Structure 1
Amino acid sequence: MKKVYSVEEYIETNSHFGEALNLLRDIINTTELNESIKWNAPVYDLNGKNVVGLGAFKNHFGIWFFNGVFLKDEHKLLVNAQEKTKSLRQMRFKTVDNINKNTVLAYVKEAIENQKLGKEIKPVRNTKSVVIPEELNQILKAQSDINTCFKALTPGKQREYCSYISDAKREATKQTRIEKIIPMILNGVGLHDKYKNC
């Protein structure tokens, strides 16, 4: 899908649901939420915190509730679109006739109130411990400058380096990899940083 720069452009790009998306947009815009484009779709936030978003697909359209897990869902309209999402819920429609303005507005207002109350699921940090391979551990013990720089890296970056060494089958490959990563550790960069900044 091409990059969109405005809500109007998003609706135009999904013109098969244009009337319905405009209706949902109008309902949401009666509230205090701020409208913007994020992830190539309309998103509505309260003080920088995402509350709802609009989405259009081939056979349905709807509203994403970023912390929808906290909604009462008295009308049983919400679905968990993906197994891995803990808090995201979606209200799906097939046609504009399926939209009950008052019901949609009530759900959006409840989502706003929940945001004001601070109801949100915080992302769980990966708490796996870092298992340092013996070959790297010996260098860290022998050279304090490398050890200091390694400890300054995030646990995720430390794990990337440790896996990179551990995954090598041959001792010679492990040594070659260690030689490669030492300058990177000293520069405070992660193994895959150059790919993350693209």
Structure 2
Amino acid sequence: MSEKNPWNKTNQWEEELNLVISMIAKTELVEMTKWGGSVYTIDNKNVVGLGGFKSYLAIWFFNGVFLKDEAQVLVNAQEGVTKALRQWRFQSKEGIIKNEKLILQYLQEAITNEKAGISKKPEKKEAIISDLLNLELKNNTALASAFETFSPYKQREFLEYVESAKQEKTKLTRIEKIKPMILQGIGLNDKYR
């Protein structure tokens, strides 16, 4: 592997990553770079990714929730948060070698599922309505046109910021705080990006 995998957080899994990559190469998956790392796809749809962490190497199946998992090897990395993604974790090179046939079986099932369109689509977030911010935008055309230049994602951040306040006076204070930001084209969380 010529360039470091950004998902190999500890750089202690190079041999193991290369071993899994050689297994993936036996399938029809195509390697693409997404989110700064390798993702293996079929018809431009994400099927699996790899990553090395402190105590394990993981193969993650983007729609792993639909795999039969008869060997009971898949885990949900964030219970209650992660909907479809499942990980298969390995602590050693030997564990990978021992399970090569099973890994290839899981990879093939994931490919078959993706080709069949068996996948979980991200849920649309409920629209946020802020009567106070809408009133401010209605009364201030410069603010309204500046607000419209933001992407829907950044508009949502402003709306969530205002509407997460419980009291109306706090909402009004927050609106006053974000007005200069909107007029200057600065997103609410731009300083963190």
* TM-score of the two chains, using structure 2 as the length reference: 0.74
Is 1:141–1:147's contact at 8 Å kept on the other side of the alignment?
A: yes
**Cross-structure match for 2:155:** 157
When residues 118 and 175 of structure 1 are mapped into structure 2, their CA distance, relative to the original with a 3 A threshold, is closer
Seen in structure 2, the aligned counterparts of structure 1 residues 28 and 125 have a Cα distance that, compared at 3 Å, is: same
Q: Residue 105 of structure 1 corresponds to which residue in structure 2?
A: 104
Contact 1:140 1:147 in 2 (8 A): yes
Per chain length, whose mean CA-contact separation is higher, i.e. which structure has more relative contact order (CA < 8 Å, sep 6+)? 2
Aligned match of 1:93:
90
The whole-number CA distance in structure 2 between the counterparts of 1:80 and 1:166 is 29
Superposition CA RMSD, Å: 3.5
Which position in structure 1 is the counterpart of 2:45? 49
| Secondary structure of residue in 1 paired with 2:121 | coil
Query: How many pairs were matched up?
Result: 184
Cα distance in 1 for partners of 2:128, 2:175 equals 23
For 2:104, give the aligned amino acid: L
- Kept in 2, the 8 Å contact 1:150–1:158? The answer is no
Per-residue CA distance 1:85-126 (angstroms, 9 max, x = gap): 111111111112212211100000100111111122111121
2:73–2:88 CA contact under 8 A, matched in 1 = yes
Alpha-carbon displacement from aligned partner over 1:20-60 (angstroms, at most 9, x marks no partner): 22221111111111123433433211122111111112221
Q: Distance in 1 between matches of 2:187 and 2:72?
A: 46
Inter-partner Cα distance in structure 2 for 1:155 and 1:56: 31
Structure 1 contact 130–159 (Cα < 8 Å) conserved: no
Please say if residues 130 and 158 of structure 1, whose CA atoms lie closer than 8 Å, have aligned partners that are also in contact. no
Name the structure 2 match of 1:183: 183
| Cα distance between partner residues in 2 of 1:23 and 1:175 | 54
Matching of residue 114 in structure 1 with residue 113 in structure 2: yes
Q: 1:3: which partner in 2? A: none
Alignment of 1:66-145 (within 5 A): 66-83=62-79, 84-99=81-96, 100-133=99-132, 136-142=133-139
* Structure 2 partner of 1:8: 2
Q: TM-score, normalized by length of structure 1?
A: 0.72
Consecutive unaligned residues in structure 2, runs of 5 or more: none
Moved more, 158-167 or 35-44: 158-167
Offset of residue 81 of structure 1: 1.3
Unaligned runs of 5+ in 1: 1-6
1:166/1:55 CA distance change after superposition, 3 Å: closer
Look up the equivalent residue of 1:98 and give its one-letter code.
Answer: G
1:73 CA drift (Å)? 0.3
